[in-house]
Amino acid sequence: MSRTPSRSRRARIGAALAALAILAVACNGSGDTRATGTASTSSGQGARTKWPIKHVVFIIKENRSFDNLFGRFPGANGATTGRMWLGDTWRNGGTWQDEIPFTWNGPPYAEKTVTVPLRTPAYAQWRYPQDLPHDYTQFKIDYRNGHMDGFANNPGAAELAYTQVKPEWIPNYWHWAQQNVLADNFFSSAVGPSFPNHLMTIAATSGGTRDNPKQPPAALKAWQDTGKAKTWGCDMVQGKVMLYDSEGNPIKKVPPCFDFQTEGDLLNKAGIPWNYYGATDQQVGYIWSAYSAVDRYRNDQAMWDAHIKPVDNVVTDIQSQGLDPVTWITPRFEQSEHPEWNLCYGENWTTRIVNAIMAGPDWESTAIFITWDDWGGFYDHVRPKNVDAFGYGFRVPLLLISPYAKRGYVDSHEGEFSSVLRFIEDNWGLSQLTKRDTNANNMSYEFDFNQDPRPPDPLPERQCQGSETAKPPSWDSNADVWIPPHVVPVASPSP
């Protein structure tokens, strides 16, 4: 790997920071109110670490498979076509069955499987017109016993599942992948949607869950009528979630309020400061605030206030206070990239956070991990590995941005959300939580700690179409299952 030019690092970083200041003014305008003064270094920076990384930032976005966002990335294991099964759908009286027959790594493809292009419709650069099914039942449908061809077998979603994003529609994500690290063998941790996967990002366990909690509609409406946002945590009224045993058998439904150990507890024991930024209980997106489902945090106001912060404050906090050693960040719904919200505004939100970190005093010792919590119903061609009764889920992108990141490196080591936790654990000498983080790779191979730390690389925001909260465009799916012309048979699945 080539070294940076001979120009002094201080001069390079100073120039980059000056450029970042100009960029911030250009992007935000003169009306932007910013904290004044120099950001102070956070407490805990002096803690001994295995590597030069003193700050880890874990950003979790929403609902994108690897092939949907990075299927066209050069050198990565992506796809521009997908396999679609044209056989009978698993239907029962017009509703999806609760328990579809499910086998990991099943037989070869059925003869009714065809190849279709992953299309790039114009709406994919802004807002998808509707959400795609992506619960545990839909995971089984999409996976189809290892055939990886069931993504179209749901009315209305068929046209959307087999689509992907062009590079120019996500210029900043693409730039970060080109200049830093993109992992193309990284999987969501759980065989389901957001709730179990967000728990995995803080605890290397889903608490025995595979799906989102459910709540009687009347109870949800009464809760929202008080000004509160939908929740999947200890404050969920009449909510229940199914628990499964280690063999995958359903046990019982329980309130979504758990007492398992989390990464935050390991950090607390070691005296290492940390924060978790998420939507407040009055903002849409609060469902992703994972610590709301951990009893000793949600039901202890002092613990909650000490560690759980409003996500709308994250950029200002970074600018005025710097970073604590470990920071989780989850978005409000409008900035999450979850269909049907606007991809452009979601990328801009991520850009503001990354730019703020690069402009601060902690950049030279920071690692930023950006991932997406689940596949969101979008096609992906790589069959996930069966490691236990709860995962893996489908493949999702992971970006590493750091002054020590290998430049333009496509990482094909196996990874999942527990891999980020394992990096934190190994860096600060912590113990492990579960078998997941015990067995996880720590991703240290994504760094080159012998290189000079690279200077900041701030990026501009895109000009987005419509407002952040605008309704999605109208559309006509025309048919339950979209079948493009010139389909051809395919043979066997990728490993």
- Cα–Cα distance measured from residue 161 to residue 151, given in angstroms and rounded to the nearest whole number: 6
Task: For tokens 């419509």, name the residue.
Answer: 466
Q: How many helices (H) and strands (E) does the chain have?
A: 14, 15
Mean pLDDT of the chain: 85
Domain extent at residue 58: 41-489
Q: Is the pLDDT of residue 92 over 50?
A: no
> Does any domain span residue 25?
no
* 205, 199 Cβ separation under 8 angstroms: yes
- Cα–Cα distance measured from residue 396 to residue 382, given in angstroms and rounded to the nearest whole number: 10
Span 439-443, average pLDDT: 97
When mean pLDDT is compared across 96-110, 151-165, 366-380, the lowest value belongs to 96-110
Bond before 340 cis per omega within 30 degrees: yes
What SS3 state is found at 275? strand
Amino acid 472: pLDDT: 59
> Does any domain span residue 28?
no
Amino acid 156: pLDDT: 62
> Does any domain span residue 314?
yes
Amino acid 392: pLDDT: 97
Q: What is the CA radius of gyration of the chain?
A: 22
- Cα–Cα distance measured from residue 288 to residue 363, given in angstroms and rounded to the nearest whole number: 27
Task: For tokens 């993504």, name the residue.
Answer: 151
Amino acid 205: pLDDT: 98
Span 429-451, average pLDDT: 98
Six token digits for residue 10: 């201080």
- Cα–Cα distance measured from residue 279 to residue 277, given in angstroms and rounded to the nearest whole number: 7
Could you give the percent of the chain with pLDDT greater than 70?
80
Is the four-CA dihedral 1, 428, 275, 415 of positive or negative sign?
A: positive
- Cα–Cα distance measured from residue 264 to residue 328, given in angstroms and rounded to the nearest whole number: 10
- Residue 344 maps to which CATH number? 3.40.720.10
Query: Minimal CA–CA distance to 267: which of 238, 221, 303, 214?
Result: 303
Output b/e per residue, 28-50; b: 16+ Cβ within 10 A. Answer: eeeeeeeeeeebebbebbebebe
> Does any domain span residue 23?
no
> Does any domain span residue 10?
no
Amino acid 448: pLDDT: 98
Angle at 69 between CA 102 and CA 451, to 5 degrees: 115
When mean pLDDT is compared across 43-52, 144-153, 233-242, the lowest value belongs to 43-52
Q: Which residues pair with 83 in a beta bridge?
A: 115
User: How many domains in the chain?
Assistant: 1
Query: Which of the four pLDDT bands, split at 50, 70 and 90, describes residue 38?
Result: very low
> Does any domain span residue 19?
no
- For residue 400, the one-letter residue type is L
* 167, 174 Cβ separation under 8 angstroms: yes
Query: Minimal CA–CA distance to 87: which of 141, 33, 47, 124?
Result: 141
165-205 pLDDT per residue, tens: 999 999 999 999 999 999 999 999 999 999 999 999 999 99
Amino acid 104: pLDDT: 57
Tell me the backbone φ, ψ of residue 334, rounded to 5 degrees.
-65, -20
Task: For tokens 């099964």, name the residue.
Answer: 85
Query: Which of the four pLDDT bands, split at 50, 70 and 90, describes residue 114?
Result: confident
> Does any domain span residue 2?
no
Query: Minimal CA–CA distance to 215: which of 186, 240, 188?
Result: 240
* 245, 208 Cβ separation under 8 angstroms: yes
What SS3 state is found at 165? coil
> Does any domain span residue 27?
no
- Catalogue the long-range contacts made by 93-96 (C-beta closer than 8 Å, 24 or more residues apart): 96/137, 96/138, 96/141, 96/154
When mean pLDDT is compared across 81-95, 104-118, 214-228, 313-327, the lowest value belongs to 81-95
If phi > 0 it is left, if psi is from -120 to 50 it is alpha, else beta; for residue 213 that is beta
